[in-house]
């Protein structure tokens, strides 16, 4: 299996009269053009950063190519970190309220419609990177380390586990995860475990396929 690399991308929040522009990606994964499993989701205009581009240049290019809108004075206000089994992207978020033109569907095989939405009434499902950007904007922060969701997780080759919470190692202050098996084993009944957060959130390779060590199921 080839060594995976981290990619750099960006999303652009076009802001007009309290609303932002979102496009719905094609439901077909082959056409949605998203390495972050974004088919069928609503997303801001954006894309991958090209070699030699500044964030502002890339933002202007992508918005123009996707919507026909010409933007001015876009500002970097957010940073998010998205990881799935097959891809890892750092996403730079830019805010822009100075632009001209109306959104057009210029890449219909990728984005099937553009619409303006109130920030308090967003459509679902949202593209993960766009949702992270919006969360940062609403909380007035640049970057926020993502916390694990409490609830049930499935191990890639064992059973189900309940995530109890996060903790710190008393010696080196490393992030830890506390979780409990939801089954009995030869070790004991519903054993409690502690593992470094980096490992809990990490990936393993099984028969040449990269999989998450633990996958979130639900928080019921």
Q: What number of other Cβ atoms are within 10 A of residue 73's Cβ?
A: 11
Q: Is the pTM above the cut of 0.85?
A: no
Predicted local confidence at residue 1, as pLDDT: 41
Q: What is the DSSP letter of 126?
A: B
**Closest to 8 measured CA to CA, from 39, 41, 35, 30:** 35
Can you give the CATH number for the domain in which 164 is found? Answer: 2.30.30.320
Are 128 and 213 contained in the same domain? no
In terms of domains, do 135 and 156 share one?
no
What does the pLDDT read at residue 202? 86
**Residues 75, 27 share a domain:** yes
The whole-number pLDDT of residue 82 equals 85
pLDDT score at 220: 61
Considering 116, 139, 162, which residue would you say is the last residue of a domain?
139
Where residue 116 sits, what CATH number does that domain have? Answer: 3.90.79.10
Q: Which pLDDT score is estimated for 35?
A: 61
* Domain boundary pick from 139, 160, 189: 139
Q: How far is CA 123 from each of CA 21, 44, 136, 206, rounded to the nearest angstrom?
A: 11, 12, 18, 36
Whether residue 2 lies inside any domain: the answer is no
Residue 203 pLDDT exceeds 50: yes
Q: Which of 103, 12, 23, 95 is nearest to 61 (CA)?
A: 12
**Residue 20, domain extent:** 7-139
172 vs 94, higher pLDDT? 94
Asked, for residue 37, whether it belongs to a domain, the answer is yes
Q: Does residue 129 sit in the same domain as residue 180?
A: no
How many CB atoms neighbour CB 180 within 10 A?
13
Sorting pLDDT into bands at 50, 70 and 90, what band is 162? very high
One domain for residues 160 and 117: no
Q: What is the pLDDT of residues 76-122, one digit of tens each?
A: 999 998 877 677 889 999 999 999 999 999 998 889 999 999 999 99
Q: Provide the domain count of the chain.
A: 2
Residues 71 and 131 in one domain: yes
Check whether residue 134 and residue 170 sit in a common domain.
no
Q: Measured between alpha carbons, how far is residue 36 from residues 13, 21, 33, 163, 188 in Å?
A: 19, 20, 9, 25, 38
Which tens digits make up the pLDDT trace of 113-161? 999 999 999 999 999 899 999 999 999 999 987 778 899 999 998 899 9
Which among 113, 139, 165 is the end of a domain? 139
Three-class SS state of 111: strand
Domain match, 132 and 31 both? yes
Clarify whether residues 82 and 126 are in a common domain: yes
- 145 assigned to some structural domain: no
- State whether 108 and 161 are in the same domain: no
For residues 211 and 177, which has the higher predicted lDDT (pLDDT)?
Answer: 177
Residue 68 lies in a domain: yes
Chain mean pLDDT for the chain = 90
In a domain, 85, yes or no: yes
């Amino acid at each position: 299996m080839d060594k995976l690399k981290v990619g750099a991308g960006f999303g652009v929040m076009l802001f007009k009269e309290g609303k932002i522009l979102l496009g719905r990606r094609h439901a077909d994964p082959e056409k949605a053009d998203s390495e972050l499993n974004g088919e069928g989701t609503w997303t801001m205009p954006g894309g991958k950063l090209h070699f030699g581009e500044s964030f502002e240049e890339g933002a202007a290019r992508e918005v123009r190519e996707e919507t026909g809108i010409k933007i001015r004075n876009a500002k970097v206000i957010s940073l998010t970190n998205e990881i799935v089994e097959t891809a890892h992207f750092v996403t730079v978020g830019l805010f822009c309220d100075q632009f001209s033109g109306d959104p057009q569907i210029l890449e219909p095989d990728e984005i099937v419609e553009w619409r303006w939405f109130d920030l308090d009434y967003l459509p679902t499902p949202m593209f993960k990177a766009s949702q992270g950007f919006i969360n940062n904007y609403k909380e007035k922060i640049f970057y926020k380390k993502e916390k694990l969701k409490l609830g049930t997780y499935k191990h890639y080759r064992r059973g189900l586990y309940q995530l109890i919470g996060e903790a710190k190692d008393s010696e080196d202050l490393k992030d830890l995860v506390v979780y409990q098996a939801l089954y009995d084993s030869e070790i004991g009944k519903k054993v409690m475990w502690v593992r470094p957060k980096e490992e809990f959130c990490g990936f393993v390779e099984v028969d040449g396929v990269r999989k998450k060590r633990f996958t979130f199921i639900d928080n019921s």
